[in-house]
Amino acid sequence: MDKVFIKDLEVETIIGIFGWEREVKQKVRISMEMSFDISMAGKTDKIDDALDYKKIGKSVVKLVSSSSFFLVEKMAEEIAKLVLKDKKIAELRLCVEKPGALRGSKSVGVEIFRCQK
């Protein structure tokens, strides 16, 4: 299956379990790889036959920026549910990172893989 991806989408949001994290917006980084058959778009060169990654990106930004999750695990699950509402996407690999969450590391986070049911 072909893949359409969005890498390192940065969004500011409330995320975390500590008191200060509930008061200050932090940056999260989101990357996703969506299984989608691009062959029709490759033949027709028409946007209607392609996966609208801009629309997906904007909907993810809207969800995340207006949320206040305690855990990146919950954030990842909600993003996955949102993205997989598009039934043309067969599978989703999603990575959610919190840069600077652990001193000495570039980032920490989770990666999940979800399929259409």
Q: Where are the domains of the chain?
A: 3-115
* Active-site pick, 3, 98, 106, 117: 98
Sequence-distant (≥ 6) Cβ neighbours of residue 109 within 8 angstroms: 29, 72, 95, 96, 97, 98
Provide the residue-wise pLDDT of the chain in tens; the chain has 117 residues. Answer: 899 999 999 999 999 999 999 999 999 999 999 999 999 999 999 999 999 999 999 999 999 999 999 999 999 999 999 999 999 999 999 999 999 877 888 899 999 999 998
Q: How many CB atoms lie within 10 A of CB 13?
A: 19
98 is known as an active-site residue:
yes
Q: 3.40.640.10, 3.90.580.10, 3.30.1130.10, 3.40.30.10: which CATH number matches 3-115?
A: 3.30.1130.10
